Structure 1
Amino acid sequence: MILFTLLALFFAAIVLTRRLRAPLALAAVALFWLLAAGWLSAPLLDWAQWGTQSVAPPTFAARTVIVMLGGGTDYNDAHKLVPKDDALIRIATSADIYSACKRTGASCDVVISGGNPQRHEASEADNYLPYLLQKQVPRADIVLENRSHTTYENARNVAALLQDKRYDALILVTSAYQMPRALLDFHRFGLTPHPVVSNTRRASLGVLPRYDNLVNADLALHELIGIAQFHVYRLLGWF
């Protein structure tokens, strides 16, 4: 969506300015080629995912809560609503952590946090639930938070859920590109979870444009703008 907006701005500028049409068109082509070929997408991803790979494995306590952030839903070829690829990896990672937690004899809960920002037929949390059940996580140990639409709301709503819940260890599971902003938001609500990165995205460098590189660039820009917005709002006293 960010790249689409940028393209629309370029188009509007090209239409409205006669003298600068040629250089603006050239700049737009060059920029989007650099993004699609990976040469700009790679540093954007590295920036968004900076510092996420140097975290020690989680430790479990007597009462452990594992929070998994939603990663979107999509319709497959059979028009069935399913988790997006990143979300599937987060589900698998959360299930693995839950299994490791239970092997220690601890009490372990998994909170799935994700509403319905895409306005599909079900929220992310409700859609992910069967997949977590298939991975042998009991329904009694799963808590659904299905109202949040943003990372900030993820943190706010999870903090409200945990307000009256006793726990000794808190673990946060999400993709590398979302983790820095998620930690900022969770810290804002007094939560200090141990981060566990489910997956890291990489750009493919080359000459030919690739759609995946544009997706990666858009994700990275979304997170970087979100981090900048967080700090601006904090300065203004809105957060």
Structure 2
Amino acid sequence: MTLNVLLVLILLAIVLALLRWRRCSRALLALAVVLLLAVGCGPLPIWLLTQLQSGYATEAPIAWGQRNAIVLLGAGTVRATDTGPVEASLFAYGRINKAAALYRECRQTGHACRIEVSGGDARGLGQSEAAVYAGNLQRLGVDPADLLLESRSMNTWQNAQFSGPLLKAWGADRVLLVSSGFHLRRGMLYFAHFGIRATPVRADYVDGIRSWEPLSYNFTMADLALHEYTGVARYHWYNAMGWNVQATKPGAL
């Protein structure tokens, strides 16, 4: 996203220079240089990610209920080779490990605990995220009987939409939403829309890197953050236009 904007600015500057609009051309080139340094050297992605994650940087003690649901949001799957097994993606392992740790902590209280794994086969690899992650969770000691699989959702909005009935059917009185720090603001917004009062739990925290030279990593982190901001802005825009499904009354779950 940010790299595309940079290339467009440079191309427009070249076109304007050919048309002899030199002042406009120089202005666009200067803007391109500022964007290159602000993103590539770290200041912009660091600021964007800090604003997204600051509310989740510190973990508060969890007050467990009688029936606790730990909702694990998917982060994609990959296939190592053309014929290899479907595996969790890079970002998924932190979320999986965090969900398993919360499950063990919950079980120590003696109360009922379930992990709801939410995620379909968005990449068309033949196996849902929910099923793949469930295998990882079982290898980490989670009882298969304590897994609730939601394998239809293709995005975060559907994660929230399809999780509601599943959690309600099980009778959860305490819901924890586990995801990456950068993803929690959007996830919490969507789950609240469907009447799910959840406690956010950060599985991981990402940041940009300050550097004297532009780094491709920082462009990736900026795009990651902008994707989240776009999702939040789209939600509010769709609400204003009446395009979202009707919100569920808060606390309906």
SS at match of 2:63: coil
Letter in 2 for 1:156: Q
Match of 1:115 in 2: 120
Moved more, 182-191 or 22-31: 22-31
SS at match of 1:129: helix
- Report if aligned partners of 1:66, 1:109 keep a CA contact under 8 Å in 2: yes
Matched, 1:164 2:169: yes
Within the candidate set 134, 140, 144, 2:139 is matched to 134
Equivalence map 1:44-55=2 (5 Å): 44-54=48-58
SS at match of 2:211: coil
Aligned partners of 1:227, 1:195: CA distance in 2, in Å? Answer: 16
Match of 2:196 in 1: 191
1:101-150, Cα deviation, whole Å (9 max, x unpaired) = 11111111111111233333433222222211110112111122122222
> Which structure exhibits the higher relative contact order, with contacts defined as CA atoms closer than 8 Å and separated by 6 or more residues?
1
SS at match of 1:163: helix
Aligned partners of 2:49, 2:168: CA distance in 1, in Å? Answer: 34
Letter in 1 for 2:122: P
Letter in 1 for 2:5: L
Match of 1:97 in 2: 102
Match of 1:72 in 2: 76
- Report if aligned partners of 1:57, 1:196 keep a CA contact under 8 Å in 2: no
* Residues 103 and 192 of structure 1, relative CA distance in 2, 3 Å threshold: same
- Calculate percent identity across the aligned residue pairs: 32
Equivalence map 1:192-207=2 (5 Å): 192-207=197-212
* Residues 233 and 93 of structure 1, relative CA distance in 2, 3 Å threshold: same
* Residues 22 and 116 of structure 1, relative CA distance in 2, 3 Å threshold: farther
Matched, 1:33 2:32: no
CA-atom RMSD in angstroms: 2.2
* Residues 120 and 9 of structure 1, relative CA distance in 2, 3 Å threshold: farther
Which structure has the larger Rg over C-alpha atoms? 2
- Report if aligned partners of 2:80, 2:86 keep a CA contact under 8 Å in 1: yes
* Residues 41 and 168 of structure 1, relative CA distance in 2, 3 Å threshold: same
Match of 1:222 in 2: 227
Match of 2:64 in 1: 60
* Residues 29 and 125 of structure 1, relative CA distance in 2, 3 Å threshold: farther
Aligned partners of 2:50, 2:173: CA distance in 1, in Å? Answer: 32
TM-score (norm 2): 0.84
Match of 1:3 in 2: 2
The structural deviation recorded for 1:4 is: 4.8
Aligned partners of 2:202, 2:239: CA distance in 1, in Å? Answer: 26
Letter in 2 for 1:31: L
The structural deviation recorded for 1:12 is: 5.5
Matched pairs, number: 238
The structural deviation recorded for 1:75 is: 4.2
Aligned partners of 2:107, 2:57: CA distance in 1, in Å? Answer: 25
1:149-172, Cα deviation, whole Å (9 max, x unpaired) = 221111111012223221221111
The structural deviation recorded for 1:25 is: 3.7
